[in-house]
Amino acid sequence: MKFLEPLWLLVLVGVLALIALYLVMQLRRKRYAAKFTNVSLLDKVAPKRPGWRRHIAFALMALALIAFTTAMAKPATKVKVPRNEATVCMALDVSLSMQATDIEPDRFTAMKESATQFVNELPQGINLGLVSFAGTAQVVQPPTIDRNSVNAAIDGLQLDQATATGDAIFACLQSIKTFQETLESNEQDVPAARIILLSDGYQTVGTDVDTAIDAAVEAEIPVSTIAFGSNGGTIENDGQQIPVPVDIEKMKEIADKTGGSYFDAESKSEIAKVWQDIGEQIGYTEEFQEVPTRFVGWGLLLAFASAAASLLWSNRLL
């Protein structure tokens, strides 16, 4: 929490001074009462008061003043709000290793289902594009706010041979660049961009991944990566089970060097959680919003309680 007008907090000095004055007055009252040596006369001159309860009304009023002062300082707390604008390009691996069934019902189906859910839950202000990659990488949907188009592109993905991870990053960078140039030509603001790279295997063809990392760093576009599947995943080829492990180290390196986030998912529930976490990072931001009303409310409750206590125990207001 922070205060948007913190100078109002100086009023608390006055509240503290008022509390100090009250304490001084109570001490002086005790000293004055102690001068009476005749106890019976003291009882007639100064009848019994409600003891410690008489201080409750003042204490509640002091707390009310603190609450009202805090409200005037405009306290603000962080809240999550949907981003108005951003550009995201998803690069999804469609290599044959995605047939592995270590994630039910298989990697490919689980990826498509979870990606579709991610698309549907992303705030509308996010421009979303899609790149698929196997032996080559291609832009199957340029960045758009049309979620139906992106979902249709995901639904139409087909498996193919090889894995061109570096080409996938370059394809996303080019797609984002083209989209940003279109915005600039229309004199529109260019929002922040990010790439989401999902892959379940090692690069086998295409541009070297390190070169693609350098390009992403130069473009100042973070690449968040998802290592999809387990090291125990296999696919069948000519009756043989061929291992298809995930290149975890390279996926971590891509995220670390470009300023993105790394995730791994070895089950259907984990991949759903990963997409949710990415959606939180990309689709929402934290902003400070004023919350003075709650302090005003507390102040009013305390003030009413103070008045009620004073009337109940002393038949007067404070």
- Domain match, 220 and 259 both: yes
53 is written with which tokens? 């309860």
Q: What percent of the chain shows pLDDT beyond 70?
A: 88
- Domain match, 116 and 261 both: yes
Residue 129 domain flag: yes
Contact 145, 85 (CB under 8 A): no
Whole-number pLDDT of residue 304: 87
- Domain match, 194 and 61 both: no
Residue 241 domain flag: yes
Residue 130 domain flag: yes
Flag whether pLDDT at 23 surpasses 80.
yes
Q: Strands 126-133 and 86-93, how do they pair?
A: parallel
- Domain match, 126 and 216 both: yes
Contacts 24+ apart (CB under 8 A), 293-301: 293/71, 295/67, 295/68, 295/70, 295/71, 295/75, 296/67, 296/68, 296/71, 298/64, 298/67, 299/64, 299/65, 299/67, 299/68, 299/71, 300/64
Task: Give the confidence band of 36 by pLDDT, cuts at 50, 70, 90.
Answer: low
- Domain match, 34 and 166 both: no
Beta bridge partners of 290: 76
Flag whether pLDDT at 37 surpasses 60.
no
- Domain match, 229 and 98 both: yes
Flag whether pLDDT at 82 surpasses 70.
no
- Domain match, 222 and 297 both: no
- Domain match, 145 and 244 both: yes
- Domain match, 36 and 135 both: no
Range of the domain at 6: 2-78+289-314
Flag whether pLDDT at 38 surpasses 60.
no
- Domain match, 102 and 137 both: yes
The arithmetic mean of pLDDT across residues 95-116, rounded, is 93
Contact 209, 168 (CB under 8 A): no
- Domain match, 136 and 262 both: yes
Task: Give the confidence band of 31 by pLDDT, cuts at 50, 70, 90.
Answer: low
Identify which of 7-11, 231-235, 277-281 has the greatest average pLDDT: 7-11
CATH number at residue 241: 3.40.50.410
Residue 104 domain flag: yes
Lowest mean pLDDT among 63-72, 114-123, 230-239: 230-239
Residue 280 domain flag: no
- Domain match, 156 and 122 both: yes
Contact 275, 261 (CB under 8 A): no
pLDDT digits (tens, 9 = 90+) for 235-292: 887 778 888 888 999 999 999 999 999 999 888 888 888 888 888 778 666 677 787 7
pLDDT digits (tens, 9 = 90+) for 116-171: 999 998 888 889 999 999 999 999 999 999 999 999 999 999 999 999 999 999 99
Q: What is the pTM of this model?
A: 0.69
CA 246 to chain centroid: 29
> What are the angstrom distances between the C-alpha of 5 and each of 62, 75, 222?
21, 8, 36
Residue 275 domain flag: no
Residue 148 domain flag: yes
More confident residue, 47 or 90: 90
Whole-number pLDDT of residue 32: 60
CA–CA gap between residue 146 and residue 127 (Å, rounded): 8
Q: How many domains does the chain have?
A: 2
Residue 274 domain flag: no
Write the single-letter amino acid at 2.
K
Q: What is the mean pLDDT of the chain?
A: 86
Sign of torsion, CA 280 106 229 245?
negative
